[in-house]
């Protein structure tokens, strides 16, 4: 390498650093060598390194968004047994994961069903697919987020805390039912629902249908108002199936095909 070439290479590296183009900085010498050997036009060389930079930016963005999303590990749509939940359309779920139509208008997605039916798995898997399609998602147990918002209220920072959640196109609240029937908890949850109404989307999983939400919101007027905001512009998926974990336990013990009624029901946690 001549001294002039070395100087030019060093200068290009400095320029690419200044322009914040790390991927191009890393690969341009290799692409330049290939372009020289194969006689690429300048436009082809520029397009090749620019496309590589864009692909790397997309990869890094997805990595950041996955890290902040706190999704359940290993829960994907490929791993979800749609045949075990016949009332859920795989085609509809795949359309939901595009996100464009409903996330842009702040619509909601509500998953209802008994414990163990796969609600949390499906919610997290939808979140993963949306992140891969360029959206920002946060998955959280409802009780965990409510407790954080209560702390923010005590510190006079509730509005700011809710505003910070605006960076997420979709907020997944898992297990709404486990919020205690406490005025302080349910009021911050209601404020969150109201703040995101028609602006930012929510995906909520719950064991009880709307008719039993009085167990969550002690004030009937607050219950009605919360349901009204969530249902408006929403898609509701009902997953009324036997516990997925209970079915797996039966199959491990007796082999596939034994009736669920032979198993002893157990309280085995969230979805």
Reply yes or no on whether the pLDDT at 103 is more than 70. Answer: yes
Largest separation between any pair of C-alpha atoms in the chain? 81
Task: Give the chain's domains with CATH numbers.
Answer: 3-67 (no CATH), 72-262 (3.40.50.300)
Q: Give per-residue pLDDT as tens, 209-244.
A: 777 776 667 677 877 888 888 888 889 998 876 655
Q: Give per-residue pLDDT as tens, 180-208.
A: 666 677 788 889 999 999 999 999 999 87
Cα 234 to chain centroid distance, Å, stands at 17
Q: What is the pLDDT of residue 266?
A: 37
**Regarding predicted confidence, which is higher, 246 or 140?**
140
Q: Report d(CA 152, CA 156) in Å as an integer.
A: 6
- Segments of 43-159 assigned E as strands: 108-112, 137-141
Per 3-state DSSP, the chain is made up of helix, strand and coil in percentages (nearest 5) of 60, 10, 30
Q: What is the pLDDT of residue 223?
A: 75
- Tokens standing for 216? 């969550």
Q: Report d(CA 174, CA 75) in Å as an integer.
A: 14
Q: Give per-residue pLDDT as tens, 25-81.
A: 888 888 888 998 999 999 999 999 999 888 888 889 899 999 999 999 999 999 999
Q: Report d(CA 44, CA 48) in Å as an integer.
A: 6
- Tokens standing for 164? 């910070």
Q: What is the pLDDT of residue 16?
A: 86
């Amino acid at each position: 390498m001549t001294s002039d070439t070395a100087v030019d290479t060093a200068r290009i590296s400095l320029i690419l650093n200044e322009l914040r183009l790390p991927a191009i900085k890393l690969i341009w010498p290799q692409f330049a060598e290939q372009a020289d050997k194969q006689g690429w036009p300048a436009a082809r060389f520029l397009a090749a390194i620019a496309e590589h930079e864009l692909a790397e930016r997309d990869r890094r963005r997805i990595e950041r968004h996955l890290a902040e999303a706190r999704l359940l590990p290993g829960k994907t749509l490929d791993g979800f047994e749609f045949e075990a939940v016949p009332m859920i359309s795989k085609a509809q779920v795949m359309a939901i994961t595009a996100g464009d139509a409903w996330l842009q208008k702040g619509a909601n997605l509500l998953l209802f069903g008994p414990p163990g039916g796969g609600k949390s798995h499906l919610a997290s898997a939808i979140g993963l697919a949306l992140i891969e399609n360029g959206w920002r998602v946060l998955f959280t147990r409802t009780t965990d987020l409510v407790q954080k918002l209560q702390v923010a209220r005590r510190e006079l920072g509730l509005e700011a805390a809710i505003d910070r959640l605006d960076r997420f196109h979709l907020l997944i609240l898992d297990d709404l039912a486990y919020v205690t029937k406490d005025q302080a908890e349910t009021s911050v949850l209601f404020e969150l629902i109201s703040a995101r109404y028609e602006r930012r989307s929510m995906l909520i999983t719950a064991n009880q249908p709307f008719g039993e939400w009085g167990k969550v919101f002690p004030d009937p007027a607050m219950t009605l108002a919360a349901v009204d905001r969530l249902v408006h512009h929403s898609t509701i998926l009902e997953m009324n199936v036997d516990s997925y974990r209970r079915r797996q336990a039966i199959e491990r013990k007796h082999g596939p095909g034994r009736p669920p009624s032979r198993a002893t029901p157990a309280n085995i946690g969230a979805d």
